[in-house]
Chain A
Amino acid sequence: MKSLFIVRKSEHAWICRQFSAEHPLLVTLCNKPFIEFLLDFAILAGADAIRIVSDGQTAPIEAYCGNGSRWGIDISYAHMRPEDDRERIMEKNSRFCSEDRVLIIEGVLFIEHDKHADYRSWLSALPEGGIVDIGSGSLSISGEPTKDMAVPFRPLISIPAIECVNDYFSLSAATLGAGTRYILPGYCNEPDCFIGRNVVIQKGAEIRKPVMIGNNVQIMTGAVIGPATIIGSNVIVDRESTVKGSILLDNTFIGEQLEVDRKIGEGNRLTDPASGATLMMEDPHLMSAIHQPADASGLLRQLVHSLAATALVLLLALPWLALRMLPAGRSNRNIIIERYPLLFRVIRGSMRLIGSRGKDRKNSETPDMHIRQAKPSVFGYAEAEQWPETDSDALIVDHYYTRHASPLKDIGLAIKALINPKTF
């Protein structure tokens, strides 16, 4: 059997705001990303090939799951349009879907299941059609049953709706409580207690079940962890602090003598799931903003841009002066007149000669950090190409060159932008 995961960007928007994970399906529940629970279920159901179809980025999932060899299955990735319905998606993936029965998991983050149950024979006897549907997500199966037999008793299967942070919070507790049903990470030699690698628990610290602790965690003297607590990886709980009924996601620091009760911590942010209120924990030593020093390639780029801008300033000084004599407001005052003064800023290093150049790209929803953090620039990559007509076209070019440009290529592109008849 095969399985098709349909992931729609719009369904998980709140998760992107709440959590810092790169993709909603990579948010962890009991220290295990959502996507892994879905893969586990599909594998228990007998899938040997899984295709993840999304109308958003699939690269983060691909970086995490790869081709699926870690699970002994084939994982492939495909794109769809937001407006596509299930039939359309099946049609677009007909090579994948045509040969075999397909289990379609649509708009689902998590499936409650039991690793001991026999989903394989149950599903192979099940007729074509829907299995579970909760509106926001559904499970269905396409293709004729492979076994001609009476449908066996339905094993445990249900889809919880996860629509707000409180749903996530209670689901985490429930999943930890039902730990034997799932394959959870960590060493577990007694029920309800999972401990990861490289965990330091200092003298006098107390661990109360049920509890789950990830990798590289330090629990300092006198700290009390649990009950009903999930701690991710790279977490420090400092001296004499109490963490109970809470979730600390990866890379969280809890300072000394604090009491964390029924909260979700991530980095330096603490959320109360009941009210949704968040608090930033600022610690002057550990949590003040870390400024990344400019790396070598950044310096080279800076240098190349400054030099090229100097050359342009010298080259264009005379034409600029001559053209300035013309009356203002005329259409023949071309781009270089308007942007000539900006070249000095490039020399100073506060601007780039060429880069992504959007009006409100900083607020836009582009997940590409390179573009959001880019310095302002005199010329836009989109101006180096003649074809972009709309903002979305320009964004395509921006995305392409933010990944593919090099300091020297930048100069070529800047010249192309300068002589592009469209910009004149």
Chain B
Amino acid sequence: MNIVETARNGATVISLEGILNAAAAPQLKAHLENSDPASPTVIDLTNVEFIDSSGLGALVGFLRKKKTGSGSLKLANLNNRVKRVFEITQAYSLFDVYDDLEAAIGK
């Protein structure tokens, strides 16, 4: 799993690429541990090929951390495979999901 972090317009953009499963979740978690809980963050999921329950767990854990740190977490560009997992698990009710990265980052 590739994790690329960039800063844009005062927001942190984390682009994920590859498979987000039980093997990759600790790596993502470790990366997210270091980020500032107060800064607005957007996770770009365009290139995520697969996500399972542990991958979702990493995202939910991060969301919770953001909420306690009064930051914000938005997800952008869910492809159909990822969308399907969000649909069946109903995880969509927890996240703000954007169809466009620029809109998620904001002006």
Q: Do A and B come into direct contact in the complex, CB within 8 Å?
A: yes
**Chain A residues in contact with chain B, CB under 8 A?**
55, 57-59, 77-82, 91-96, 98, 366, 385-389, 392-393, 395-397, 399-401, 403-404
Given contacts A59-B88, A396-B53, A396-B91, contact A93 B99 (CB under 8 A): yes
**Total count of chain B residues near the partner, CB < 8 A:** 27
- Choose among A55, A388, A393, A400 the residue with the greatest number of B CB atoms under 10 Å from its CB: A400
B104 CB, min distance to chain A CBs, angstroms: 8
Given contacts A94-B99, A387-B61, contact A81 B56 (CB under 8 A): no
Across-interface contacts of B93 in A (CB, < 8 A):
55, 79, 81-82, 392
B74 CB, min distance to chain A CBs, angstroms: 9
1/0 per residue, CB under 8 A from A, across B62-100: the answer is: 001000000000000000000101111111111011111
Do the beta carbons of A396 and B89 come within 8 Å of each other? yes
The reply to whether the CB of B57 lies closer than 8 angstroms to some CB of chain A is yes
Do the beta carbons of B92 and A79 come within 8 Å of each other? yes
> Which residue of chain A is the closest to B103 with respect to CB atoms?
A94
Across-interface contacts of B96 in A (CB, < 8 A):
81, 92
Q: Among A57, A96, A388, A401, which residue has its beta carbon within 8 angstroms of that of B57?
A: A388
> Which residue of chain B is the closest to A367 with respect to CB atoms?
B90
Q: Among B56, B85, B88, B99, which residue has its beta carbon within 8 angstroms of that of A96?
A: B99
Interface residue SS majority, chain B: helix
Do the beta carbons of A399 and B89 come within 8 Å of each other? yes
Do the beta carbons of A403 and B88 come within 8 Å of each other? yes
The 5 sampled A-B contact pairs (Cβ below 8 Å) are: A57-B87, A82-B93, A93-B98, A93-B100, A396-B89
The reply to whether the CB of B33 lies closer than 8 angstroms to some CB of chain A is no
Given contacts A78-B99, A81-B93, contact A387 B54 (CB under 8 A): yes
Do the beta carbons of A57 and B90 come within 8 Å of each other? yes
> Which residue of chain B is the closest to A384 with respect to CB atoms?
B53
Across-interface contacts of A80 in B (CB, < 8 A):
97
Given contacts A393-B60, A396-B53, A397-B53, contact A92 B91 (CB under 8 A): no
Given contacts A59-B88, A397-B53, contact A92 B60 (CB under 8 A): no
A400 to B90, alpha carbons, bound, how many Å?
9
Across-interface contacts of B98 in A (CB, < 8 A):
91-94
A229 CB, min distance to chain B CBs, angstroms: 38
A397 CB, min distance to chain B CBs, angstroms: 5
**Chain B residues in contact with chain A, CB under 8 A?**
52-54, 56-58, 60-61, 64, 83, 85-94, 96-100, 102-103
Q: Among A385, A386, A400, which residue has its beta carbon within 8 angstroms of that of B88?
A: A400
> Which residue of chain B is the closest to A400 with respect to CB atoms?
B53
Across-interface contacts of A77 in B (CB, < 8 A):
83
> Which residue of chain A is the closest to B25 with respect to CB atoms?
A387
A92 to B92, alpha carbons, bound, how many Å?
13
B65 CB, min distance to chain A CBs, angstroms: 11
A59 to B91, alpha carbons, bound, how many Å?
14
Do the beta carbons of A400 and B97 come within 8 Å of each other? no
A76 CB, min distance to chain B CBs, angstroms: 9
Do the beta carbons of B99 and A385 come within 8 Å of each other? no
B9 CB, min distance to chain A CBs, angstroms: 15
By Cβ-Cβ distance, the 9 closest A-B pairs, closest first, are: A387-B57, A94-B103, A79-B92, A95-B100, A400-B53, A399-B89, A396-B89, A95-B99, A94-B100
B84 CB, min distance to chain A CBs, angstroms: 8
Do the beta carbons of A58 and B103 come within 8 Å of each other? no
A80 to B75, alpha carbons, bound, how many Å?
12
B43 CB, min distance to chain A CBs, angstroms: 14
Do the beta carbons of A58 and B87 come within 8 Å of each other? yes
Do the beta carbons of B57 and A95 come within 8 Å of each other? no
Do the beta carbons of B103 and A92 come within 8 Å of each other? yes
Do the beta carbons of A396 and B99 come within 8 Å of each other? no
A98 CB, min distance to chain B CBs, angstroms: 8
Do the beta carbons of B90 and A385 come within 8 Å of each other? no
Do the beta carbons of A396 and B90 come within 8 Å of each other? yes
A348 CB, min distance to chain B CBs, angstroms: 29
A240 CB, min distance to chain B CBs, angstroms: 48
Given contacts A79-B92, A396-B89, contact A385 B60 (CB under 8 A): no
Do the beta carbons of B88 and A79 come within 8 Å of each other? no
